[in-house]
Structure 1
Amino acid sequence: MNRLGLLSDKKKELLKQKLGNRSSCNKRSNTIKRYGLRKSAVSFSQQRLWIMNKFESNNVLYNIPTAYRISEKLDIKILSRSLDYLISKHESLRTSFISIDNQLKQCVEGNLEMSIDYEQCCSKGSKIGEKINDVYKEESSFVFDLEKGPLFKVKLLHLNQDESVLYLTFHHIIADAWSIEIFINELLDNYIKLANDQQLDEKDLEIQYADYSVWQNEQIEKGVYDDQLVYWKDKLDHSPEILEFPLDKMMGKERSFEGCEVKKELNTELSLGLKKIAQENEMSLFMVITAAFKIMLNRYTDQEDIIIGTPIANRTRRETHDLIGCFLNTLALRTDLSGDPTFLELLYRLKKTILSAIENQDIPYEKVIEETQKNRTNNNSLFDIMINYVSQTSEGVYDQIGYEPIEFKDSKSKFLFTLYIEEKRDKLKFNIVYQRAYLTAETMNVFMNQFINILEQILNDQTKKVAEFRLVDGDSDKYIPDPTQTIATGPNDTLIELFEEQVKLNLHKVAIKHNEANKTYEDLSQDSARLANFLINKGVRKGEPVALYGERSYKAIVGMLGIFKAGAVLVNIDEELPRGRKELLISGSGVKKILDVNGNFIKADGMDVYLFEESQDKNLDEFIMERDVNGEDPSYIFFTSGSTGTPKGIVGDHKGVSHFLKWQKDTFGISAEDKGAQFTSLSFDVVIRDIFLPLISGATLVIPDQNKKNDLNYLFDWLKSEGITFFHTVPSVLEAWIAENRFQYYLGKLRWIFSAGEPLTEILINKSQGAFLGNYKFVNLYGPSETTLAKSYHVIDNTQEGVQPIGKPISDTQIFIMKGNRVCGVGEIGEIVIRTPYMTKGYLDKANNKDKFIENPFISMSKDMIYRTGDIGRVTSAGLLEIKGRLDDQLKINGVRVHLSEISSVIKQLKYVKNAVVIDGSKVLKTNTTYLIAYVVLENYKRDDELIHIEIKKKIAGLLPLSVIPEMIVEIDKIPLNSNGKVNIKALPTPEIRDEKLSLVKPKDDIEKKLLEIWEDVLNKDSIGVTQNFFEVGGQSLKAFQIISRVKSNFNTDITIQEIFNNPTVEDMAMIIKNSQSSNCQVTIARSSRRI
């Protein structure tokens, strides 16, 4: 029999819209019996709500508050009589919940006397609206005691002689939205009859909610829904972790449910057009909107396997239609967007998913989770995003009483966000309710505007492929550059010209200070010119690579500038590099001439080696020759890591270097009053920034003593005593400095710390500001070496949680996000691409250019190039660029892309972890599956046992999905770095795989022994160690409730769900019990009742 025929026209239409005009046709048992029990089993949804209520102490998240404006002054006495009748009719209104013998029961009271709160509003004018809102906030925040009841509340606010506001607040455990419709309709219907001395309908309900609960449990026990469970097990097999929607603020261990909302209304043309698409394809409107919603989520997450939730009324049986109770069930809608389908193809995929879900809707969502998602710790398990097609809430007239619901802004959000869809007068209304602790109003407003635009694109063309839809938002699109726009270029100054300008202005000012030696701008200009002349006389050709071999020193800088002036191409080789690395740089660059700064180069066949001291013969000054150098000429070759292990040479030019340095000088006000520090190795391209930013600004470059460069006490004292105002660093280097520092240093003159090369985190900034006191600011620079030094920046005035943004492009530069050959919109995940006329000339081996330096696909000019960085990122609603990971740093685990750097960042949040890096050890360990290894450097860690890996896993369990928690934690003394300051992955030690399950930790006292027995009984599993995670060995929320009950009966100790989540091992749980009983002389343990 078609169930829709059993529903009223109104409810039938609602189900048609929400569920695709289909009904379930699975087999069902006989009619629900009337048991009449005072204490009975709870339904699955009630059990879950009970647990969630325990999980959040004093939680009002599961309150359902509503309010109605009534068009007359209601008589409180008549209203109370009407309420009394409802209470006597519906047992749910007289229900409370208790635990009996470790089983949750619902208890129905025989009688319940309940008064209506009454208040006369004394406010006038605009203050009336404020009063209505204030009362709503107060009522919605009422905390119900589930063990005592009543679990609903009624309040009447009289506004004047003709108007009242009726507030109803229910705990979700006894009611759902359908129930509230029943309640308000019957309450007012009874009121009218009583006011007119009419007889009330005293016919008993056929069944009560408790009867339904007993019946539901019986169906599960009899296996009536086993076929449906098989469907869900298959549908959710290898389901991905919860959708990784990019957050504006990091989500900590303690979840906030404070909500906010954004509302949008579609115009009539679009609303009717979407209805037409649904009708033409024999779909529901809900399906069309959900398909578009999935496209949005795909764009924001770059995931193709997407699960969201949707509620379903679950009143498919005739006996339930007039009951007040919690019948609501949830369906998980899993859709595969792979294969680049058209919208229509996606729509038909989704239709199949929804209809199948409806056919298998009877099995409670709680049971589905219990059976299919045994290793998940998240309470919602499968999704954190919902979509809900809501009906128009009741409004109407009972005789002379008109009433309508009052809309309030949602103050709570159970999920990251929920999209509510409502249809009113041929118009669709959207309301997205989100958790404001993690998402901003700007982000969600942009998201909704883009969503509506996607719907408009669908209206125009349903055959368009999913990948072809564009995210468009009129306001935020200003942050997306036009890749066809011409980028203006300025004069192609050279580094030499910029430096010589400062020589004229600051002839006798100190340019470089190294140890006790001070060298002026005049000295540096003359010495470098002399060296250039020397090289030219030695036959160095313009554009020929010349290696500078040495260490940080004044002579090295003279050599670099002299090579530039000679028109040659600089190849820096730090003499402290390993021999093999030096040989690679020499052979890779094709160098045949070497300037040996300190006389330490070991001569080799085929090499012309010139000693620096030879170049400074002043007797040759009269023979100085000049060589014209322009901006297009190559200036240097620096090497970056290659995917094959062989470094790749990058050729820079003069205009790219000078453009960046001029921009940095002007943007940050670097002047003759400043002092910069040189920390960077000669072999890393950042050395160009270190050395020449001061020298093109009239500032002084200060070089620390090379013999004391590893003495951090000297280094910090040196920063202070020299009055350094800015320096460049890499986060890993700064992290190492701070880790070794035991004192605070006041750097009163420091203005800027420029960070680049790695993600800059809030934690590192906070640590730095604790170690180095002063009024300086961090600047987060970003740009691969291939694009010349840096191409975006972010001045950090207020840190955001986690990794800091890389900000906005520097001048004459475009940075956009691309997916395929399409520019992404705001919020969309893709590859970061850079377009500028000031990037380098590319790789020395031009064969490497084809995949990274490509022609701009958006215009026909062949010389307009863009660079694909390999970094994954997005543009936020505030117009800031964010890095989300690397294409070569990402793995797929359980169908979800995981970035190793993000896991490292979470581990670094632990207070006793100084530094951490996570790698995929599958290749090193020769395993066939992903094997995550976390290398950690610890500080102030007092435990002396070998359980550090368990400790860290436990701490991060609440911050990461179980599937991405590293299998192995390896403690090391320090994270090895390359010469450029980045993590040297190859230098990390190779660990031995240890199967923790083969060495289970046994209980060490009676409490742990008894608690372990409880675990094994509840989980129906042997061989559990006291250090294993509850959720890794099959535990979940429903099982946790049984643990709580057993602990109470065996130890007379109350523990909460939250404590189990925070202390998920037998060892930690036993410590809670011991602490709570510390005042007792002896702990009494009940005799074991373990089932054999």
Structure 2
Amino acid sequence: MSSDHISADERRAKLSALLQKRIKGRAGPLSPAQQRLWFLEQLDPGQPTYHIPTVLRLKGRTDVDALERSIGELICRHESLRTVYELDCNIPRQRVLPFRKFNLTIVDDFDGDPDAEGKALRLISDNISEPFDLEYGPPVRASLYYLSPLHQLFVLTVHHIAVDGWSLTLLLRELEAIYPAFVRGDPSPLPDPPLQCLDFVYWQESAFRSSALATQIAFWRAELADAPEEINLPTDFPHTYTATHKGQLHRFDIEPSVVTALRDLAHSEGATLYMALIAIYAILLHRLGGQCDLVIGSPAANRPIIEMEGMVGLCANILPIRLRVFGYMSFRELLRKTRETTLQAFQHQDVPFERIVEYLSPMRKLGRNPIFQVLFTLQNLPRNPPAKLGTKTGRLPPVVGNGRAQFDLSLSANEVDEGLVCSLEYSTDIFSEESGMRMAGQFRSLMFAATNQPISPVLSLPLNSAADRARLLKASYGPASPLPQRCPVEAISRLALTHPGDVALASHNKLLTFAELESEVAKWTEWLCVSGVGPEVRVALCAFETRDIVVGLLAVLRACGTYVPIDSHSTNNRVEFILKETNATILLTTTELLDRFDWFHGRKLLLDRPPNIPDSQSHVPLAKAHEETAAYIIFTSGSTGSPRGVVATRRGLYNHINVLQSMYPLNQEDSVLHLTNVSFDASLWELLGPLSAGASLISCPAFAKRSPSDIVEVVSQNRISAIQVVPSLLRTLLDEPRLNRCQELRRVYCGGEPLSMDLSRRFFARLDAELLNMYGPTEATIDVTSWRCVLESNLQAVPIGQPIPGAVAFLLDSNLEPVPDNVLGEIFVGGVGVARGYLNTPSETANRFVPNPFGPSGSRFYRTGDWGRRCNGSELEFGGRIDDQVKLQGNRIELGGIETILKQRSDITDAAVALSIPLRGEPVLAAMVVSRTTIKIDELRAYLLNRLPSVEVPAVIRLVKALPVMPSGKIDRQAVAESARLTVDNSFEPLHVGDETVLAGIWAKVLNVVEIGRHQNFFELGGHSLLAMQVVSRMREAFGVEVPLQQLFKTSTVASLSAWLADVRRNF
């Protein structure tokens, strides 16, 4: 028979039979809850985590003798207050001690002290934290602190193993009955309790051994199946395996009028105040962490028959309440579902929580509670004793706690005089005091909002107060842009007059002074004007040499044209797409590249041949460019498989260059390396920023870009003082032993992908230089925020900083409302750098460039699709991508675009791509492909290389019969990512002696693996394009052969690469 059908009379009969067998004075078993607390005490002995203090303020004269005897009477009445816990044959048992006279501790050395109460509270805090000796007892103590003859503080501290919340309330009610009687000289007016805690333990143990709880156990198995094992909350400090369980309490009140309105609302849905409060708590947790599936612990008194209501002991059971909160639900709808869930949970409360843990066997972590890490308690029994212990008695607000936190977050609400006295206990291991206070305020805000807007979606209920909202919006704005705006192109031109002989450019051992640069730019500007270039006229530029790129770029901007950069290493398909999409009529290139553009019917001008301008057409006046005129068009990855052109303005470009110069100045003493590919918008700063400041721009040779060691050599030989890199490249540079030769390097600009704290620390361990973490999408002109990294920091991640002057960075929820501090929101960027939009795609532009409700009329901002949060009330922190767009080695990649290209093959029916972190811990792309026929992986990789940049070609490609899906039917991208950690060919074939042995040695060093088989794939072992660069560099040293980087993508096993080497030698 299930416990759902056990009547109260049957419970009494069962208990009566057990009581007849119990032998007084003999040691008995521990309940599951007591076992847990005993174990935790052994694990971390002497800690006050489970000390429960009560502090009463007494006004008037106190009869110390009567009070002392009253506490003794409580201990005499209730066995749990004189129980000790000892090992018997390695099994913990509890034994009830005979009553011994109780001594009340008196502290009375405060007379005349102006800070008597403050001093007393500090002493009380120390007293509460004093360890209990559970083996020798007792688990209770009491003290009286005399602040004055008519003012005392009474402290009762009990270990949780002896009492629960119900018990504590019962003790205080008994104390208020016993103390006045003892003052009068009367005996105790209370009858002996019918049951003791040990009776309950025997009853619970017997019930659990029977089959009566089978239905309840089955309920909890089903209820918690697939439940999240941890709650996701925004923390100030990371979780560690060495949690101290230190905590703090924050007390706040809810007015009676609000509580009455909430109770009436709950009653209208057939619910209780408890159900309404835990529902609001669930909304808070959902809004803070974005988690829809929540498990909240909540205690149940667990006294199933009336005879147990007068029992003192740890009888309460903690129920894991599983609530599902979705932003579209109204509070009324959530309240109805919460009612159903909590009623079911309390109907199945007989199964101890500890037994639920045993049956479910959830993942266990040291310092983390299993199944739930947040708690909610409503104490709706009278907690304040009437004025019977003195002229006036009051429970001291919870300003004195035990300084510990059993859970990450615990919310307790006490009904007092129709209102609520609430306390939020939070772990200071993970939350700051500011966060604790903020979360308490957010609970209040949600409670008011839910009461007043019960049919509104819970996502729309305001979390922030009006003052907080105003503060968050203000923090979203960077300082005003520096005025007047300096034109970088004109600044470079003026340097030809002020510093004509200074070196502007160094490219392939050829130097170009500012005067020489100005001469060339002037000629090409005139030639472009003669050719019809002016505002909104698009000029494509494709060249190898930095010199040609700089001259062409400056000429286009001075002629008021729109610069369209083309990577000289791009595939023909991409080049053709860009030229056709932009409708460029003029192409600036070089003789070396001319053959690639035979099909181009526009005008082709060769930068390595001086322009020949007829006298009749010379001195054409320059057009005037408005600040909103297009400055350049940069193409980024698109969801359709085709790149999208971002149209940026001169105002945004010039503001960015000026701002970075004002924040991080460069001067004539600086030399900056040109390393960034022109297809990235960051190259615009690299080409214009240093030159406009009078610094020298040093070209990085093409061969050096493929090798971190060669880059280090270039930096060292050219005395480079500043470079711009993505974090993944920075990581490989820091591995180079010769990096210490870069003595002049004083600043590194880092951006394009997340910068880890570990990489930041490694940077400062190797370099005495500035490290700047920059963030910004192409759609907002290079950078929106910046952060100067620091060596010592207690931050969880390297921030992306604050908005730069002229920029705006909002963190918003789906209702375009600012999210609170520490909470993830989508990053929306605005300000002068916001691009016009996407070229030739008005619908996509309208979707991503949206009206800014916080700015002046007509202003827009760009929704980045990035998560971010504001830490420490000011600094922004990057939180990853919202959709399936990822960043890899500084490149923004649309996974859907790669999937589209894959599925364009007639023999491929489906494909999925995900970002994975395999063996070495370096991110790589992994693909799963469903094909009608057998496809060779190398052939498929070659197919992708002809259509995508190499960084977008998945390192790991698997052929599968079907893509993994989740229960919802959506592709399980986590499973796709996990595939990169597996081995395609489990058969390990030893290496052949010779080239294969040398190659495997190179791979082993680069990949940090011990053993490599001849058919194991480089990328499936954790390789990626930056590590491939290291392999290519080492192969050049080992074999004296130039290895194209793409060759490693085509022949990505030791065996195939060795065969390629043999072919090269035969044909050499």
* TM-score > 0.5 by shorter chain: yes
Aligned mate of 2:505, from 490, 512, 521: 512
> Which one of 959, 964, 982 corresponds to residue 928 of structure 1?
964
Deviations 1:967-997 (A, max 9, x none): xx96425565899xxx99x979999xxxxxx
Contact kept? 1:855, 1:863, Cα under 8 Å:
no
Mapped pair 1:336 → 2:336: no
Q: Which ranges in structure 1 are unaligned for 5 or more consecutive residues?
A: 1-22, 892-898, 947-968, 992-1092
For residues 25 and 384 of structure 1, do their structure 2 counterparts lie closer, same or farther at Cα, with a shift above 3 Å needed? farther
Where does residue 404 of structure 2 map in the other structure?
412
Residue 698 in 1 paired to residue 694 in 2? Answer: yes
Query: In the alignment, residue 797 of structure 2 is paired with which amino acid?
Result: V
| Structure-1 residue corresponding to 2:464 | 472
Asked whether 1:873 is paired with 2:868, we answer: yes
SS in 1 for 2:11: coil
**Structure 1 residues 456 and 632: alpha-carbon distance in aligned structure 2, compared to 1, 3 A threshold:** same
The farther-off stretch of 688-697 and 194-203 is 194-203
The match for 1:681 among 674, 677, 685 is 677
> C-alpha displacement at 1:770, in angstroms?
0.5
Contact 1:92 1:108 in 2 (8 A): yes
**SS of structure 1 residue aligned to 2:161:** helix
Tell me: CA distance 1:641–1:51, structure 2 relative to 1, closer, same or farther (3 Å): farther
Q: Does 1:304 find its partner at 2:289?
A: no
- Post-superposition shift, 1:159? 4.1
Residue 212 (structure 1) shift: 0.7
* Aligned match for 1:731, one of 716, 727, 737: 727
Question: Is 1:385 the equivalent of 2:374?
Answer: yes
CA distance 1:203–1:191, change in 2 (3 Å): same
Deviations 1:163-222 (A, max 9, x none): 444333222111123323344554575555555543346964322211111110111121
- The answer to which of 508-517 and 405-414 deviates more is 508-517
Q: Which amino acid aligns with 1:635?
A: A
2:127 matches 1:139: yes
Alpha-carbon distance, 1:524 to partner: 1.8
**In the TM superposition, what whole-angstrom CA distance separates every residue of 1:913-962 from its partner, at most 9, and x where no partner exists?**
6745686869855542442428699999999589xxxxxxxxxxxxxxxx
Unaligned stretches of 5+ in structure 2?
887-893, 896-913, 931-957, 966-971, 982-1002, 1013-1018, 1030-1044, 1054-1068
Contact 1:762/1:800 (<8 A) preserved: no
State the alpha-carbon separation in 2 of the partners of residues 989 and 132 from structure 1. 76
Residue 30 (structure 1) aligned to one of 12, 28, 37:
12
1:954 paired residue number = none
Q: Distance in 2 between matches of 1:202 and 1:449?
A: 43
Q: Whole-Å Cα distance in 2 between the matches of residues 117 and 687 of structure 1? A: 74
CA contact (8 A) 2:376 2:411 kept: yes
Distance change in 2, residues 1:621/1:135 (3 Å): farther
Structure with the larger RCO, 1 or 2 (CA within 8 Å, 6+ apart): 1
Equivalences for 1:975-1014 in 2 at 5 Å? 976=1026
Cα distance in 2 for partners of 1:240, 1:349 equals 19
**Structure 1: how far apart are the matches of 2:62 and 2:177?**
13
Tell me the CA shift for residue 527 of structure 1: 1.1
User: For 1:374 and 1:187, how far apart are their aligned partners in 2?
Assistant: 42
Alignment of 1:216-231 (within 5 A): 216-231=204-219
User: Helix, strand or coil for the counterpart of 1:130?
Assistant: helix
Distance in 1, matches of 2:718 and 2:570, equals 28
User: What is the CA-CA distance between 1:227 and the residue it aligns to?
Assistant: 2.3
* Corresponding residue for residue 63 of structure 1: 51
Q: Which residue of 2 aligns with 1:959?
A: none
Name 1:7's counterpart in structure 2: none
Over 3 Å counting, the alpha-carbon distance change for 1:409 and 1:970 in structure 2 is farther
Matched, 1:810 2:804: yes
| C-alpha RMSD over aligned residues | 4.4
Kindly provide the CA deviation profile for residues 787-828 of structure 1, in whole angstroms up to 9, marking residues without a partner as x. 211222334456453333333333343332344443233245
Query: Percent identity between the aligned chains?
Result: 23
* Structure 2 counterparts to residues 695-844 of structure 1, below 5 A: 695-709=691-705, 712=708, 715-716=711-712, 719=715, 724-741=720-737, 744=740, 747=743, 750=746, 752-774=747-769, 776=770, 778-797=771-790, 799-827=793-821, 828-844=823-839
CA shift for structure 1 position 687: 0.6
Query: What is the rounded CA distance, in whole Å, between the counterparts of 2:172 and 2:812 in structure 1?
Result: 53
Match of 1:553 among 546, 549, 554: 546
Paired residue for 2:1022?
Answer: 972
SS at match of 2:156: strand
- Contact map agreement 2:269 2:335 (CA 8 A) in 1: no
- In the alignment, which residue of structure 1 is the partner of 2:245? 257
Confirm whether residue 178 of structure 1 aligns to residue 228 of structure 2.
no
CA contact (8 A) 1:550 1:598 kept: no
Q: Aligned partners of 2:748 and 2:467: how far apart in 1?
A: 33
Note if 1:657 corresponds to 2:648: no
2:466 is aligned with 1:421: no
Q: Which moved more, 1:459-468 or 1:325-334?
A: 459-468
What is the distance in 2 between the residues matched to 1:599 and 1:200?
Answer: 106
Does residue 1:846 correspond to 2:841, yes or no?
A: yes
- Which secondary structure state, in structure 1, belongs to the residue aligned with residue 662 of structure 2? helix
Distance 1:226 1:232 in 2: 10
Q: CA deviation at 1:449?
A: 3.1
The correspondence of residues 84-483 of structure 1 with structure 2, limited to 5 A, is: 84-101=72-89, 103-110=91-98, 115-122=103-110, 124-186=112-174, 190=178, 193-194=181-182, 196-200=184-188, 204-338=192-326, 340-372=328-360, 374-375=362-363, 377=365, 379-391=368-380, 393-398=383-388, 403-406=393-396, 407-410=398-401, 411-481=403-473
Deviation at 1:870, TM superposition (A): 1.4
1:571-619 deviation per Cα after TM superposition (whole angstroms, max 9, x unaligned): 3333345666556555655556543347245344323544322136699
Number of residue pairs matched by the alignment: 928
Per the normalisation by structure 2, the TM-score is 0.77
Residues 837 and 849, structure 2, Cα contact 8 Å, conserved in 1: no
Superposition deviation, residue 325 in structure 1: 0.9
Distance 2:817 2:1049 in 1: 38
The residue correspondences of 1:580-659 to structure 2 (distance < 5 A) are 585=578, 589-590=582-583, 593-597=586-590, 599-607=592-600, 609-615=604-610, 623-630=618-625, 631-659=627-655
Of residues 651-660 and 565-574 in structure 1, the stretch that sits farther from structure 2 once superposed is 565-574
Alpha-carbon distance between aligned partners in 2 of 1:116 and 1:975, rounded to the nearest angstrom: 74
Asked if the contact 1:919–1:934 (Cα under 8 Å) also holds between the matched residues in 2, the reply is yes
For the residue of structure 2 that corresponds to 1:779, the secondary structure is: strand
**Alignment check: 8 A CA contact 1:780 1:794 kept:** yes
Instruction: Tell me if structure 1 keeps the 8 A contact 2:69–2:102.
Output: no
* Structure 1 contact 855–862 (Cα < 8 Å) conserved: no
Shift of 1:347: 1.8
Contact 1:173 1:326 in 2 (8 A): yes
What secondary structure sits across from 2:978 in the alignment?
strand
> Residues 495 and 658 of structure 1 are in contact (CA less than 8 Å); yes or no, is this contact kept in structure 2?
yes
Whether 1:523 aligns to 2:523 is no
Deviation at 1:760, TM superposition (A): 1.9
- Cα 1:125–1:542 change in 2 (3 A) is closer
Q: Distance in 2 between matches of 1:754 and 1:132?
A: 55
Mapped contact 1:746–1:773 kept (Cα < 8 A): no
